[in-house]
Amino acid sequence: DNAPASNFLRNIIDADLKKPEYQVRPWAGKPGGADVHDGAPADPANIRLRFPPEPNGYLHVGHAKAICVNFGLAKEYGGACHMRFDDTNPEKESEEFADSILDAVHWLGFRWENFGDDNLYYASDYFDFMYQAAEFLIQAGLAYVDEQNADDMRANRGTLTQAGVDSPFRNRPAAESLARFRAMRAGELPDGAAVLRAKIDMASPNMNMRDPAVYRIRRAFHHRTGDDWCIYPMYTFAHPIEDALERITHSFCTLEFEDQRPFYDWLLDNLASEHKTADGGVLKPLLSHPLPKQIEFARLNLSYVVTSKRKLQQLVTENKLNGWDDPRMPTIVGLRRRGYTPEAIQLFCARIGVSKSDSWIDYSVLEGALRDTLDPIAHRAVAVLDPIPLILDNVDDDWADMCTAPVHPHHPHWGVRQFTIGKRLWIEAEDFQENPEKKFFRLFPGNRVRLRYGYVIECTGCDKDESGKVTAVHAQVFLDSKSSTPGADNYKVKGNIHWVDAEDCLPATVRLYDRLFTEEHPDSGGKNFMDSLNPNSLTEVKAYLEAGLKDAWSGTVYQFERHGYFVPDLKDHTLENPVFNRATTLKDSWSK
Ligand code: ATP
Ligand code: MG
Ligand code: MG
C-alpha cells in the first residue's frame, strides 16, 4: 500500500501547530539576516524546515530519506522547506558537489521556491553574523580563546568516566580573549595555534558540553567566500545559528546529533538572552524567540549498501567502480542511471517511514518500490540475453511474417508493437535442453512450444561443436498456429518462449548488476567495507533486442519480458552502440 508509514515527526508538528506561538507565525519575513525579527509581514508558511547537506560529495539514498522527510513534510503541511548548504568546512567542499546536490533534489521532485521566496541558502552567507555571535559570547563571558596545544586539549577533555581539566586559558579576562580572537581573525596566528571555545562545564557527563570548540584557524580557500576568512566556525556552532537566522521551526536531523542537542539549545538560548559584560555594559540579544528546536530521527541503513559520502568517495577515488554515477552506486545519480525513478524513491521513503531508533532496511524494499512503480507503466519489449540460434527448417530463407504484441498488457489503448518473424531467430540458451530435466516444458527434441506472439513449433534436434556445446536448435513451424488466429486454439502446448528475429533485431550491450557488497552490513561491527566488495557486481552481455528498441529514449524504463526492468544507459547508450542497464529483475532475489 502507498499510505505513508508511521512518522512520529507528524505528531510533533501536529502538537506544535496547536500552540499559540505557531498561530501568530513569529518567524515571519525574509530569513537570512540578524534583523529579520522586527515586524515583518505574516508568513504564509506555518512550519519552516530545511535540508542542510554539506557540499562535500554526491547525495545518496540516505539523503533521499532526509529530503523526503523535510521537503515532504513541508509540502504536506503547507509549510516551506529551505535548501541550505552547510558549507563551513572549505577544504572538502566544491561547486561541483553543490551543483550535483541541487540537481538531485530537483530530480527527486522537490522545490525550494516556496511562497515566492527562492529559499536557497548558504551557511557561508552568515559568516559575518557568526563572527558577531562569537564576539557576543566572549563579551558575555561565555567563550574564551584557548591556546593549549592540541594534545593537551585532548587530554584535558577527560573521558566518559573522568571529568575534564580546566584549560589554563579558561579564566583569562574577556577583553584578552576578545583581543586574541580578533588576532585570529586578522591572520596573526598560525593554523592550529588557538581555538575559540564555549565556556560551559568541563565536568559535564556529555562530552559535547565540555567547552566545545566553536571557531578554529584554517587558511583554506572557500568556494564562495574565497580568502575572506582564515577562521571558520565549527559545524556544531554554525548549524543552530543557520536554523535560527532562517527562522526554522523544526530542525530534523539524524540520531548521531542527539548528544549535540544540549549545546544547540545552550547556544541559541544564550544568543537570545540579554547579558552583562565584565565592565558593566549590556549586551542586547542577537536572536529572538521562538527558537528552532532540534529533533532526531533514525538514519537510513540499507542492507548490502554503505551510506556515507566518505566511503562512497573512497570507492570512486580507488577506482572500484566508474565514478559517482556508476549504476551500482547508491547515490541519487547512480540510482537514476540504473533506472530508478523519483516516484520509486519517494515510495520507498514513504514505506520505510521515520522512527526514533536505528535499524537496517532490507534492500528488497527499495527494489520492491521500483517494481511496484514501474510495472503499471513500463512499456514491454523482448530481449534475448544469452542467445543461441533457432532455425525453422520447414520454411524458405525469405519467409517472413509480422507479429504483434501489446505495449502494455493492462493498457490496451496504448496500442501494439510489431516485429517480424523469419526462418532464423534468437532464443535463450536456457530454453533448450537436449535431455530435458523433469518438469522442463520448453524446447527439447520432439516437444512443442509456442513462440510468444507467434507460432507453435516442434523441436527436431540441435547442432553441436566438438566439445558438445549446442550451437543451434532446429524446429518445424506450424503455419496454421499463429497467435490470435482461429487455428491457434488447435494447438495445446505447455511451454511459451520469447525470441527475436535474427534478421531484424537490435544487437546491444546489456549490463546486469548484482549487489555491490557481499556482506549484509558491510560497514558495521568493525568490518572494513572494502573487504566485502562483490567482484561480480557487474556482468556485461551481448544481447539481441526487439527491433523497435532502436527508438528507445534515454531515461525510459522498459520491461523486458521474463528478464526485468531495463533502461538505456544515460551516458553510454547511442544509436550505433545501444547499452541498456538492468534496473532490477522481475522477482525479488534479495530476501532470504
Ligand atoms: P555522510 O556521512 O554520508 O557524509 P552527512 O550526514 O555528513 O552524510 P550531510 O550532507 O551533512 O551528510 O547531510 C545532510 C542531511 O542528510 C543531514 O540532515 C543528515 O542527517 C541527512 N542524512 C545523511 N545521511 C543520512 C541517512 N543515511 N539517513 C537519513 N538521513 C541522512
Ligand atoms: Mg557531513
Ligand atoms: Mg556524516
55 lines ligand 1 (CB under 6 A): no
Considering every ligand atom shown, identify the ligand nearest to the alpha carbon of residue 63 and give its number: 1
53 lines ligand 1 (CB under 6 A): yes
Q: Specify the residue with its C-alpha closest to ligand 1, atom 27.
A: 62
ipTM given for this complex: 0.96
End-to-end CA distance of the chain: 22
65 lines ligand 1 (CB under 6 A): yes
Task: Please tell me the distance from the alpha carbon of residue 71 to that of residue 385, in angstroms, as a whole number.
Answer: 41
**Residue 8 CA to ligand 1 centre (angstroms):** 19
Considering every ligand atom shown, identify the ligand nearest to the alpha carbon of residue 85 and give its number: 1
CA-301 nearest atom, ligand 1: 27
**Residue 266 CA to ligand 3 centre (angstroms):** 23
Task: Please tell me the distance from the alpha carbon of residue 462 to that of residue 469, in angstroms, as a whole number.
Answer: 10
84 lines ligand 1 (CB under 6 A): no
Name all domains of the chain by residue range, CATH numbers in brackets.
Answer: 10-123+239-299 (3.40.50.620), 127-234 (3.90.800.10), 381-503 (2.40.240.10)
239 lines ligand 1 (CB under 6 A): no
523 lines ligand 1 (CB under 6 A): no
Residue 508 CA, chain-centre distance (Å), reads 29
Q: Which residues are catalytic?
A: 54, 299, 309
Considering every ligand atom shown, identify the ligand nearest to the alpha carbon of residue 62 and give its number: 1
Please check whether residue 505 is in contact with residue 542, taking contact to mean a CB–CB distance below 8 angstroms: no
Written as tens digits, the pLDDT of the chain (592 aa) is 444 556 899 999 999 988 877 766 555 444 444 344 444 445 667 889 999 999 999 999 999 999 999 999 999 998 889 999 999 999 999 999 999 999 999 999 999 987 777 899 999 999 999 999 999 999 999 999 999 999 999 999 999 999 999 999 999 999 999 999 999 999 999 999 999 999 999 999 999 999 999 999 999 999 999 999 999 999 999 999 999 998 899 999 999 999 999 999 999 999 999 999 999 999 999 998 889 999 999 999 999 999 999 999 999 999 999 999 999 999 999 999 999 999 999 999 999 999 998 889 999 999 999 999 999 999 999 999 999 999 999 999 999 999 999 999 999 999 999 999 999 999 999 999 999 999 999 999 999 999 999 999 999 999 999 999 999 999 999 999 999 998 888 999 999 999 999 999 999 999 999 999 999 999 988 899 999 999 999 999 999 999 999 989 878 999 999 999 999 999 999 999 999 999 999 987 655 4
Please check whether residue 356 is in contact with residue 8, taking contact to mean a CB–CB distance below 8 angstroms: yes
**Residue 318 CA to ligand 3 centre (angstroms):** 20
63 lines ligand 1 (CB under 6 A): yes
Task: Please tell me the distance from the alpha carbon of residue 515 to that of residue 388, in angstroms, as a whole number.
Answer: 28
Task: Please tell me the distance from the alpha carbon of residue 181 to that of residue 134, in angstroms, as a whole number.
Answer: 9
Pocket test for ligand 1, best of 243, 254, 260 (most atoms within 8 A of CB): 254
